[in-house]
Amino acid sequence: MTAPAIELKGISKAFGPVQANKDISIRVMPGTIHGIIGENGAGKSTLMSILYGFYKADAGEVFIAGQKTEIPDSQAAIAAGIGMVFQHFKLVENFTVLENVVLGAEDGPRLGPSLRKARKQLTELAAEYELSIDPDAVIQDIGVGMQQRVEILKALYRQADILILDEPTGVLTPAEADQLFRILQRLKDEGKTIILITHKLREIMEATDTVSVMRRGEMTATVKTADTSPEELAELMVGRKVLLQVDKTPAKPGAPILEVDRLNVTDAAGVHRVKDVSLTVRAGEVLGIAGVAGNGQSELLEVLGGYQSATGTIRMNGQPLDLTGRASDGQSRRARGIAHVPEDRQREGLIMDFHAWENVAFGYHHDGAYQANRWLMNNAAIKADTEAKMGRFDVRPPNPALNAKNFSGGNQQKIVLAREIERNPDLLLVGQPTRGVDIGAIEFIHQQIIALRDQGKAILLVSVELDEIMSLSDRIAVMFDGSIMGERLPQDTDERELGLLMAGMNGKAA
Amino acid sequence: MTFFDLLQLLDSAFRLATPLLLACLAGLFSERAGIFDIGLEGKMLASAFLSAAVAAITGSVWIGLLAGIGASVLMSLIHGLASITFRGNQIISGVAINFLAAGLTVVISQSWFGQGGRTPQLSGAGRFEPIPWPGALPSRELADAGPAMQLYSELLSGHTIWVYLAVPIVFASWWVLFRTRLGLRLRAVGENPAAVDTAGISVVGLRYTAVIICGVLCGIAGAYLATALQAGFVKDMTAGRGFIALAALIFAKWRPWAALNACLLFGFLQAFALRPDLIEKLLTVKVQVQLLDALPYILTVVILAGLVGKADPPKAGGQPYVKEN
Amino acid sequence: MKPIPGWADVILIPLVSVVLAALCAAVLVLAIDENPVEAMKLMIDGTLFRSAGWGFMLYYTTNFIFTGLAVSIAFHAALFNIGGEGQAMLGGLGVALVCLFIPWPHWTLAIIGASVGAMVFGAIWAAIPAYLQAKRGSHIVITTIMFNFIAAALLNYLLVNTLKPVGSMDPATASFPAGTHLPTFQDMAALVGFDGMFRGSPANVSFFLAIIACVALWALIWRTRLGYQIRALGHSPSAAQYAGISPAKIIVVTMLISGGLAGMMAVNTTQGEAERLILNFTEGAGFLGIAVALMGRSHPFGVFLAALLFGFLFQGGAELGFWTSIPRELILVIQALVILFVGALDNMVRMMVGQVFGLIGYKEAA
């Protein structure tokens, strides 16, 4: 019996109190494609970083082709025949394809012979695996699909037998993705072993021979792909979490507050992030937007928050919002009655080195109540307001002078929420309200959101947590690849169907 | 302005451009590898002092040169320690190095020689002497000579070895950066250190290599000032040349051959500034010397403003590398 | 790296850095066959035990407060203004124009006019690099360095060609009229009956302007909306954007304030001391502002203390240069070492301090 190409035994890794990988074991046989699927933060990338020598595992062993192998650094990983295609490519943008392939695998101090040899081998590899590419093209001039091809060629040039791809289709168009899978099939046929890390069910079903499911740092199942179904995988991936019950009465939707019509966003890098999105949020309802991170939800929030330009129209209380970015910013959006709890409170919602009270004024620092006179701010008033808000939102410790970074995630989020909700906005944008928040605080935060809805406010909720979407939303829209895949009512759908939509598959058709 | 005036001007420009060029190439290696270096001035100054001091003591300019390079490399290593090992602020470190050199050179030279921050006058083997070409006439006999003789004797003949080596050093820098493994890796680490790291190469090792090369070239530049251009060290003798070199580097958009052109241009401006009489003869109006002094800096700001092409520095420049995925 | 408490980061790191710098300087003094203890004694005697010593020290301190504040306010917006030197030079030009061409009846009015001139000219010189950074992304460190040299050339040109009185060989303006002359500490002491105090020393009323500037800047940074926005941008550009704070606007405004403060040092040197505009009057004070700001942790009170320390070192260094064979450039070395330890090797110092805290069993509170 042949030894597995790669075998992990009991890998564990913790970052401080967070257990990113817990006793993970996998066997991958040579000449197969093995998928690893799991939600964001399930620990997939950590595991692969351990394999590539970026992190040192706290416990566990790695066997390559039956041999126990230590991987202290990337050099050792390369020597062991492991090639890695990272989610964010590690290419030198102003180098040519050839130079990128050669970098680190040169044959001698002079570059000429190395480049000549690489050019020849590249042609051979291109023929062998149908990976044709112009070796003299400069990376920044070629598309992401081609760039990924360069990453694959880099690994092959280093004679990798095991190729790990981390979320390889995240940046690809569907056509490019299809091409990638043909290439992977080809590599497999030539005897290479491939590990495909993804959160997309369709890719697992189409491309892999075996699949492992990760959830919260643990390996929950390893099965043959042929023996499973997308529905079963979705369930294993999302898990039957205990639904957090939120006491809420049926919504009484009123007039439309926010009307988005054919919104399109292209980011600075030229990537089309939001595609023809149209949606309406009415007074007194929560519209939940489900989706895996990176499918355009963040950009949608940024546009609504006033700091990302877009095309299309958005009406707030019937009046159009400026989308060019010239006549609008976070301040003007607040003036229009839009409050925003951003997805990443540490990067956007708070200034971690500011005191709690300074953060409570953040975004509302022009508010008249916070000014002592024309020149000076009334810090005492802000502190008093902070103290009151901390009391109402049960922020612990209730100390306005503490820096934001010294609060727990839940209490940080309560500070942001208190700041935004108590502005009595017509529309509340909420991104990932309970990311990194402890259970106790989750319940409280959910109650606050529903309470605001019951006051007749419109709420747009973006979350990657399906149970959160299910328990809070009055309507659910699912975003995938910048588009809205469909809208469902929570009572008419289930996590399985939503999971399929989030993975880009139309639930009814599957 | 006569042909001979022009020759004299160019002759002077070559001499003045040489230290700029060496320092500029020094900065090129460092910044291409992602380590910003505003401490070129300090490194040159340190080398100028120590090379002149050691040349005065030993009577050998070559030993002096080695000592100068040593002083400059030491400064480079301090910069490396701060900006590579301890991931400190590269700008602040560069500022510190400039002051360190400005202070140390005077304190030590005062202690060694007691001449108010000077080193003793160098002569003979203590200096890089001009190399006269066969048959070249001395300057004072050239006024009546034919143009070919003037060109040969004034412009081509009679420079120190470093002026003649300047172009080969540019070639060598280009060759190393663009035709060798080391160069490929240095350029890569300045653009995307993560690419180098994932390829299994040490980012720290490469960056130290770059700052050491930078130290060696700055060391030569400084030694040239004190032992070839002048005959000894005087306080603050670099007089902003490190910053002109930095300006030239930006002006050249971090490319070696363009650096040669930029340094020649700036050297020419310096030569012009030394001969206001020629400017007046040439343009018939009085051009202010101060304008010529400021021109390299003004041109660099224009380039930085993106008014004439865009100067894109190496992408990872100035940022300490922290491993992440 | 081992954790250290917040107060240690603010207070201990600068102190340890100064001690390290002093130790290195002491080794240097030993190496040049002088006695560091004697040198220190001489510096203290010559500065702190003579009223004139104080007069010189506070004169230097005044300069360093202004330039230190200039660098500090820029640091709060995460900008590195190396252009203090050039901005101060232009400030000097502003002071000179105001003092020479407007007939001032009394110094109390003249100092206001000169301050406006100094600030406006300094601010203009900072405005161009600021605009280029905000709108075109030109690296402000490089542009401000370039502007230092351009300022030096400009001043040189004006002093040699335009502002120099006819017949004078000296590259300097004519002396300012008496109506602009500022009372020195000597004058003020005499006024209250202490004749002979601060004799011959240059400290003057602009020291009090520097104190006012400290308080005003403190209020600006921690009590106004503008300061709030500056700090927000400096800490987190992404959060500032979320809150609707315009980076371009804040960058330009911050640099105008920074340039204005750097320009203000000319009121002390040009109007207060030289009473005419001379070449190279800045004497590196613009650069020293970097050391002062780093050492003072960009806090106006810290800047005040750091400026006092450097004022002491400058005056002490002059004493050394006068009485011993140690040149006053020793101060440059100390300055360099302080910048190195506080600003560039701060992680190393932090690591050392962290080790000590680790030994005494300190752990970061959750």
| Per-residue pLDDT tens digits for A307-330 | 999 999 999 999 999 998 888 889
Compute the count of residue pairs across chains A and B with CB atoms less than 8 Å apart: 76
pLDDT at A268: 79
Residue A359: inside a domain: no
Give the gap in angstroms from C-alpha A369 to the nearest C-alpha of chain B: 40
Tens of pLDDT along C14-39?
899 999 999 999 999 999 888 999 99
Q: Can you tell me which residue has the tokens 């680790």?
A: C358
Q: Is the pLDDT of residue B308 over 70?
A: no
Which range of residues forms the domain containing residue C212? 35-324
Same domain for A47 and A153, yes or no, is yes
A180-217: burial string, b at 16+ Cβ within 10 Å, e else: bbebbeebbeeebbbbbbbbbbbbbbebbbbbbbbbeb
pLDDT bracket for residue A393 (50, 70, 90): very high
Residues of C in contact with B95 (CB under 8 A): 82, 287, 290, 339, 343
Q: What is the pLDDT of residues A467-500, one digit of tens each?
A: 789 889 999 999 988 999 999 999 998 877 887 8
Q: Say whether pLDDT at A508 is over 50.
A: no
Determine whether the interchain pair A330/C245 forms a contact, defined as Cβ–Cβ distance below 8 Å.
yes
Read off the pLDDT of residues A138-161 as tens digits, 9 standing for 90 and up. 998 888 889 999 999 999 999 999
Instruction: Provide the pLDDT for residue A315.
Output: 95
Sign of the C-alpha dihedral computed for residues C28, C34, C37 and C43 taken in this order: negative
Question: Is B71 within the bounds of a domain?
Answer: yes
Select from B180, B199, B323 the Cβ nearest to the Cβ of A54: B323
Residues A110 and A155 in one domain: yes
Query: In angstroms, rounded to a whole number, what is the distance separating the alpha carbons of residues C222 and C217?
Result: 8
- Contacts A92 to B, Cβ<8 Å: 187-188, 191-192, 195
Between A436 and A432, whose confidence is greater?
Answer: A432
Distance from CA of B320 to the nearest CA of C (A): 12
Number of domains in chain A: 2
**Within-domain flag for A483:** yes
Q: Which of A460, A455, A458 is nearest to A433 (CA)?
A: A460
Contacts of C215 in chain A (CB under 8 A): none
Confidence of residue B168 (pLDDT cuts 50, 70, 90): very high
B268 found inside a domain: yes
Q: Which residues of B touch A76 (CB under 8 A)?
A: 200
Of B307 and B172, the structure prediction assigns the larger pLDDT to B172
Looking at residue A510, what is its pLDDT? Answer: 37
Residue B10 pLDDT greater than 80, yes or no: yes
Looking at the structure, tell me whether residues A155 and A293 fall in a common domain.
no
Give me the CATH number covering residue B30. Answer: 1.10.3470
- Strand order through the sheet with A82-85: A82-85, A162-166, A193-198, A33-38, A210-215, A218-224
CATH number of the domain within which A441 lies: 3.40.50.300
Q: What is the CATH number of the domain that holds C137?
A: 1.10.3470
C242:A348 CB<8 A:
yes
pLDDT band per the 50, 70, 90 thresholds, residue A275: very high
Chain centre distance of CA B33: 18
Residue C101: count of CB within 10 angstroms of its CB? 7
The whole-number pLDDT of residue A239 equals: 67
Distance, CA of C76 to CA of C300 (rounded, Å): 11
Q: Determine the residue type at C306.
A: A
Q: CB–CB of A362 and C232 under 8 A?
A: yes
Q: Which residues of A touch C10 (CB under 8 A)?
A: none
pLDDT at C81 over 90: yes
Report the alpha-carbon distance of residue C144 to residue C86 in Å, rounded: 8
Instruction: Tell me the pLDDT tens digit for each residue of B251-262.
Output: 899 999 999 999
Residue A246 lies in a domain: no
Under the banding of pLDDT at 50, 70 and 90, the label for residue B149 is confident
Is B273 or C20 the better-scoring residue by pLDDT?
C20
Flag whether residue C244 sits within 8 Å of chain A, measured between CB atoms.
yes
Residue A170 has pLDDT above 80, yes or no: no
- Least CB-CB distance to A45: which of B182, B191, B325? B325
Q: How far apart (Å, rounded) are the C-alpha atoms in residues C241 and A330?
A: 7
In A198-329, alpha helices (H): 201-207, 230-238, 297-305
Q: Regarding beta strands A33-38 and A210-215, do their DSSP bridges make them parallel or antiparallel, or are they unpaired?
A: parallel
Q: Taking 70 as the threshold, does the pLDDT of residue A188 lie above it?
A: yes
Residue B19 in domain: yes
| Domains contained in chain B, number | 1
Q: What is the pLDDT of residue A244?
A: 57
Q: Give the tokens for residue C186.
A: 């000597």
Min distance C182 CA to chain A CA atoms (Å)? 31
Give me the domain span that covers residue A442.
256-350+425-502
Q: What per-residue confidence (pLDDT) applies to A40?
A: 66
Q: How far is C366 from chain A (nearest CA, A)?
A: 7
- For B191, the 3-state DSSP assignment is helix
pTM: 0.89
Domain presence at residue A380 = no
Indicate which of A111, A117, A138 best probes the interface with B, i.e. most B CBs within 10 Å of its own CB. Answer: A111
Q: Is residue B138 part of a domain?
A: no
A100 and A198, same domain (yes or no): yes
Distance CA C209, CA C111 (A): 10
Two structure tokens written together for B303:
């380039």
Beta-bridged to residue A261, according to DSSP, are A313
What is the pLDDT at residue A363?
94
- Mean pLDDT over B141-156 rounds to 83
* Residue C3 domain flag: no
A409 is a domain residue: no
CA distance C243 to chain A (A): 4
Question: A115 and A169, same structural domain?
Answer: yes
Q: What is the pLDDT of residues A48-74, one digit of tens each?
A: 888 998 888 999 999 999 899 999 888
Percent of chain A topping pLDDT 70: 96
For residues A383-396, give the mean pLDDT. 94
For residue B52, pLDDT over 80 is answered with yes
Say whether pLDDT at A173 is over 80: no
Is residue C362 over pLDDT 80?
A: no
Domain co-membership, A220 together with A327: no
pLDDT(B104) > 80 = yes
**Is C137 inside a domain boundary?**
yes
Per-residue pLDDT at C265 exceeds 90: yes
Residue A156 shares a structural domain with residue A115: yes
User: Is residue C296 assigned to a domain?
Assistant: yes
Verify that A452 and A491 share a domain, yes or no. Answer: yes
Tell whether A225 and A301 lie within a shared domain: no
Q: How many angstroms separate the CA of residue C196 from the nearest CA in chain A?
A: 43
Give the pLDDT of residue A158: 93
Residue C204's pLDDT is what? 95
Q: In this structure, are A22 and A107 located in the same domain?
A: yes
The answer on A185 and A38 residing in a single domain is: yes
The pLDDT mean for chain C works out to 92
- Which pLDDT tens digit goes with each residue over C163-173? 988 888 888 99
Give the pLDDT confidence score for residue B324 in this predicted structure: 64
A42 SS3 class: coil
- C351 found inside a domain: no
Range of the domain at B207: 3-126+153-304
Number of independent structural domains in chain C: 1
Residues 355-374 of A with CB under 8 A from B: none
Chain B contact partners (≥3 CB pairs within 8 A): A, C
What is the reported pLDDT for B63? 97
Q: Is the pLDDT of residue B153 over 70?
A: yes
Partner-chain contact A365 C231, CB within 8 Å: no
Is the predicted pLDDT of residue A242 greater than 80, yes or no? no
pLDDT at residue B170, as a whole number: 97
Where a domain ends, among A181, A212, A238?
Answer: A238
| Whether B282 contacts chain C with CB within 8 A | no
Characterise C336 by phi-psi region: left (phi > 0), alpha (psi -120 to 50), beta (else).
alpha
Q: Which of A238, A267, A292 is the last residue of a domain?
A: A238
Q: Interface pTM (ipTM) of the complex?
A: 0.91
| A331 in the same domain as A193 | no
Residues counted in chain A:
510
pLDDT reading at A509 higher than 70: no
Partners of A486 in the β-ladder: A478
